[in-house]
Amino acid sequence: MYFKKLNDVFAELSVTANGLTSAESLTRQQKYGLNILKAKKAISPLEIFIAQFKSFVVGILLVAVLISLFLGEYLDSAVIGAILILNAVLGFVQEYRAGKAIEALKKLGSIKAKVLRDGKEVEVDASELVPGDVLIIEEGDKINADSRIIEVISLETQEAALTGESTPVEKSECVVKEGSALGDQKNMLFAGTVVTKGRGKAIVTSTGMNSQIGKIAKLIGDAEE
């Protein structure tokens, strides 16, 4: 949705800037289900760290380290070892943050979100959000569903749980080039992130396991198996 014009986004989601009606909301809940994550139980930090060394590529590099040590190429083995450790640390940090965000999103039933329903601003359980809902957001709010921004006033979000970027990201309603990386999609808000500054409105595009954090939750779940 980030590379489409707003008129096309509204048309694709069959909604206007005034949001959904109560009846439309119920119909879409039946179609899309509740906005919840169905990830398996959280794994420990140690398990997350160990998992960073289980890929095929990492296995090859570990073998290369052992061969270099056996041949007395200590500098080569040290360089490869340092790369492995750095890669493991970066992967661990991002996956650990994502795991925390996933755990928080599992508790959406007790979290409220402000939306436009029947043209009026109301509070609903975040678990009831559906594609097409128009969110009203402000500083301090947690984002509970992936959404395309339609209006901003000095809006910034913290997206470390998804992208690893520690500094707040400035947001815009402008169209973004197709194929842009997640961190470059300035006109999108993502579940699991937090508004650190400003306010605005956004239209929900993906919920639950279809959100970016939901896809990560599925990957983590698959890794556990």
Query: Could you report the per-residue pLDDT of 53-102, keeping only the tens digit for each?
Result: 777 888 888 888 888 888 888 888 888 888 888 888 888 877 777 776 66
The answer to whether residue 17 sits within a structural domain is yes
Q: What is the model's pLDDT at position 71?
A: 86
SS3 content of the chain, % helix, strand, coil (to 5): 45, 25, 30
The answer to whether residue 221 sits within a structural domain is no
Say if CB 203 and CB 146 are below 8 A apart.
no
Single-letter residue type at 81: G
The answer to whether residue 68 sits within a structural domain is no
In 10 A of CB 145, how many CB atoms?
A: 30
For residue 187, give the CATH number of its domain.
2.70.150.10
E runs forming strands in the chain: 112-117, 120-125, 134-138, 146-158, 169-170, 188-189, 194-206
Output the CA–CA distances (angstroms, integers) from residue 96 to 101, 156, 161, in the order listed: 9, 23, 8
Say if CB 106 and CB 37 are below 8 A apart.
yes
Per the structure, the complete domain to which residue 148 belongs is given by: 6-36+112-214
List the beta bridge partners of residue 134. Answer: 116, 203
Q: By C-alpha distance, which of 215, 221, 223 is closest to 54?
A: 223
The answer to whether residue 140 sits within a structural domain is yes
The answer to whether residue 79 sits within a structural domain is no
The answer to whether residue 44 sits within a structural domain is no
Provide the domain count of the chain: 1
The answer to whether residue 66 sits within a structural domain is no
Q: What is the model's pLDDT at position 224?
A: 43
The answer to whether residue 167 sits within a structural domain is yes
Our measurement of the distance from residue 116's CA atom to the centroid of its chain's CA atoms, rounded to an integer in Å, reads 23
Low-confidence ranges of the chain (pLDDT < 50): 109, 223-225
